[in-house]
Chains A and B, each alone.
Chain A
Amino acid sequence: MSLKWRIAIIFGLIAASFWTLFPRTVVERVKRNGEFVYDTVRRVPLKRGLDLQGGMHLALEVDESKGPVADKSKAIDNALKVVRNRIDEFGVSEPVVQKAGNDRIIVELPGIDDPRRAQDVVQKSAFLEFQITDKTQALEKALPRLDALLKGKTVAAAVATPGVKKDTTASSAGLQSLFTADTSKKADSAKTDSAKAAAGTIGGPGAFSKLVQQGRGMPGEYYVAQTDVATVTQYLALPEVAAAMPPGKVLRWSSDTVSLGGRVYRGLYVLDAKPIITGEFLTDAKPNTSPTEGNLVQFTMNNEGARRFRTETGRHIKDYMAIVLDQRVMGQPPVIQSAIGANGQITMGGKDLQAAQDLALVLRAGSLPVPLKVADVRVIGASLGQDSIHKSIVAGSIAIALVVVIMLGYYRFSGALAVAALVLYILYTLAALAGFQAVLTLPGLAGFVLSIGIAVDANVLIFERIREELAHGKTVRTAIDEGFRHAMSAIVDSNVSTALTAAVLYQYGTGPVRGFAVTLLAGIAASMITSIFVVRTFYMIWLNRSRDAQTSLSI
């Protein structure tokens, strides 16, 4: 290859590198005043991994704690679509949502500053159901059965909730009579009624019934003191209790609590098991704020959904309809005044507007077909990433300075050629990383710093060979030729074996380690080009400058 061509190739590579690395204008989502907007920014097109720019990495898998899932791979495929929709709407710049292996979803959210909220958005099942509250007093009828069942377990319960025991002894009224009394007082204001109930009427003979009391007059509504919620949940989870529950009904907790007479209660609702309609017909959901009801989410159904909703609600006029999200009753079930069509709303209780926004988002994106749990999570603060980059640059600069001193000190002029090649090495490696859109990680940066030390190895091998040839009395020109030729096999073999190791790392590594492997591979390629091709060309230029006049070589 003629010298002209060699020089042309080197300059071509330099030009290409500058072109790849030149800061360019890209459209990306950036955060402005707390909102993500599309904007154009100018930056060097080097991708930083989560550990360098901060952000969140989540691995999710199917949660089988609530029952086995038959085809996990398919379930994950379906869940993936939903999660992707949600993340797209959540507003993060360059998110990654992908399937890993057969049964896992990887979510990467760069620059996230509220990881818990992000996780909620990803994990929320968002399964919406509309269910009519029970009018048949099914729970009251089942209470004696339940109490009998739990008789043997009463002791444990009493130990578990010592606070309750005191209340129980203070009251004497029977539960059944209490209920009748309550329903007869329907006309009374709900507040005073419940307050009275809270003040003196908890209790009863049975283990279960003493924990549960009548609500505010709505059929199917009950209150459980917040302190007893855990106990009742335990009871309900018992298989024999589940079997004794009234058929065709389900019990659902309320999403928020009420404070009555100084005590905090959580609503427990008995609902018809079959929902009149589910969220699958939802086409849109928007957050809103109403002066009377606070924050809420307004939703719209498609035609089919609206038709069913109208028919079903028309059949249940004067009944109460619970809006159940992920098995929690949202707000107070409203009474159905007349048939409801395509539009409806979910009140958020005391939650803030952001909660309403997030709920609207997950409702729009659709419900998760299976519950997901977090298999692994990493959250890195943005400042930590900045710090890592800064430190890596310091370490890299010092490494370069030391290597330059060693090479110049030992090989003089030839060392200077190697240093020039090292500059090109750094340029080419970075360009390769940018060009292949490789992700730069902290171990990757460390690998890059290390590779600066290793990159000159090929030069050292060549220079030592040239020295040997010169020692054998060869002319400068022949010594250089022979030196390159003899060093070649060692350079190729050692670099290829390192590249193979890097390939294995890439295959089996995760996130940061993958970044390391990519940097290593780019470095090996660049080092081969610079030490063999570029330095050789430098020598050729030097030899050409004064024809055969070069009788000695500074090496």
Chain B
Amino acid sequence: MKNTYFQILFRGYLLAMLAMIAVAIVPSAQAQSKQLNLYCWSEYVPQSVIDKFTEATGIKVSVENYASNEEMLQKLLGGGNYDLIQPSNYTVEALRKADLLAPISEGSVPNIKNIAPEFTELDCDKGNKYTVPWMAGHVAIVVNTDKVKDDIKSYNDVFQDKFKKRIVVLDDSRELVAWALTTRGIDPNDITDENLEKAREILSKWLPLVKVYDSDSPKTALINGDVDLGIVWSGEGALLQRESKKFKWIIPTEGADAFVDLLAIPKSAKNKENAEKFMNFILQPEISVLISEDFPYTNPNLEARKLLKPEDLANPASYPSAEDQRKMHFFHDIGTKASDIDALITDLKGS
């Protein structure tokens, strides 16, 4: 009697364990081959492009979003299962230094020919062996001219006491420190303890004036009228210009941070071929132009630019003048110094 009771319990227990293991294993076995795990910036990859890709190839795309390169690194290195990521140029430098990117198979992305030459010879990946450019952009000032009558030209013009609690900025430590350093004429890639101390001094005056920190969609607070000035991504600036001419896009006289975001395949990717198919797919002019329509950053795809509406090409936030472009500079990988920047901003924002 006792024996059967024990047996029933034991069998039931074994079955339950087996079921749990089966549940854990089966979906991951199924997930191969017709799947692409895309880890990309929020507000950057239109759903229409993903749908068209699935339609054309039968590959299902699951999308996860991040709001900063650092967040992406954390999830990726924490064992995240991603086939395709979208790092900025300086993060590509860091990922390549640590040998974490898989090279693109030769000949799998022929559409790279559509890309303007200045974007195929980037320092972080000359000749596109590991990455293909997605979009380029910069960070600059946007002003609601209905509310702000002053002539705003520089970062220092934005961070004035009279604009207290009327400012939105990106929630991005590296950017905040870079703006502060450029006002002192210091190269934002020159992160030394001494320079960080200078940045702390400036930012401790600036940050109390900020009302909203938002990297995902800083335009929302501007459109809703909750703030009147902002330092935001150029794509957001271009969307604001489309929304209303009262929003003015200003490249700060001190200089602006520029970036190129690229698609790259982590070494740990399980569906590398699908990732390459996606790279080639989005470099087609008629697909690339869809991205520009939704998120009007600077499109590195020359063939796609030909398909753009003239008013979009004339948008100064999307396609800045040659003179403005000369004021822009790229970030480079700063290694462990990035932690010091995070710590500085976390401390200042908390106080």
A and B physically associate: no
Using a CB–CB cutoff of 8 Å, the interface residues on chain A facing chain B are: none
